[in-house]
Amino acid sequence: MSVIDAIRKRRSNGMIEEREVPRDLIEKILDAAVCTPVHYNTSPWRFQVLTGEARNRLGKYMAQCFVENQPDPEAPAVKAKVPVIEKKALRAPVIIVTAAAKSANPRAIEEEDVASATVACQNILLAAEELGLACIWRTGSFTYGDRMRELLGFEEGTRLTGFMYLGYPAKQPPAIERPTSGPYTEWFDQ
C-alpha cells in the first residue's frame, strides 16, 4: 500500500479488544513515531506506555483533573461522573501518552517541538494501521494543563500532545469518502 493510500484509508478506531499487544509491535510503532521533522534535532518526543494496572492510575488522574477543574467539586453531578471518567482509561489494553519535552537549545522554538510530537501521533496512527491494530488519538481539557503532566511525572516544561489508545480491532469502522483539498486551498502565481 502506498503512503497516500494508507493515509486516505486510515480511520480512528476506538472499537478495541482487551487483548495484549506484543511489546515488539509497540516498539515498532514508537520507532516510527520519532521519524518526524524537528528543528535543531531537539528530539522532543517523550512517551509513556501504559498497560495493565497503569491504566487504572491514568483513569484516576483523569478524574482528579476533571474534579479539580469544576466550580463545585462536591456537586452530585460531578461525583457521578468520576467513575465514568476513571473507566475511560480502560478502553484499550495499551495507552501511549505522547509529549514534547522542553529543549535546552536556546534556538529551539517550543511550538516547533510540540508540532513534531504532534506529528509523532499521526505516525503512531499510521504505523498501527499498517500493523493491523486499531488506534485512536484522544485529548481532552486535562491534556493541556500542567496538572496531568505533573501527575504522570513528566519533567517541567513538557507539553502533553495526546493519549493514543491502541489494541487489536474488535471490528473495522466503515470506509468513508475523504475530502479533497480543493475547498481549503487558494492558488497564487503572482
For residue 164, give the nearest of 113, 122, 130 by alpha carbon: 122
Burial class (CB in 10 A: 0-12, 13-18, 19+), 104: exposed
Q: Which three cell numbers stand for residue 53?
A: 494496572
Read off the amino acid at residue 78.
V
Distance (Å, rounded) from C-alpha 115 to C-alpha 36?
9
Distance (Å, rounded) from C-alpha 154 to C-alpha 42?
17
pLDDT at residue 22 greater than cutoff 80 = yes
Number of domains composing the chain:
1
pLDDT at residue 106 greater than cutoff 80 = yes
Within a domain: 107: yes
Within a domain: 168: yes
Question: Mean pLDDT across the chain, nearest whole number?
Answer: 95
Within a domain: 177: no
Within a domain: 146: yes
| CATH code where residue 68 lies | 3.40.109.10
Range of the domain at 79: 16-172
Within a domain: 4: no
Within a domain: 184: no
Residues 6+ apart with CB under 8 A from 105: 40, 42
pLDDT at residue 1 greater than cutoff 80 = no
Mean pLDDT across the stretch 47-67? Answer: 97
Q: Is the pTM of this model over 0.85?
A: yes
For residue 18, give the nearest of 172, 134, 164, 152 by alpha carbon: 134
Within a domain: 189: no
The pLDDT score that the predictor gives to residue 2 is 85
pLDDT digits (tens, 9 = 90+) for 116-166: 999 999 999 999 999 999 999 999 888 988 999 999 999 999 999 999 999
Within a domain: 93: yes
Describe the chain by its helix, strand, coil percentages, rounded to 5: 45, 15, 40
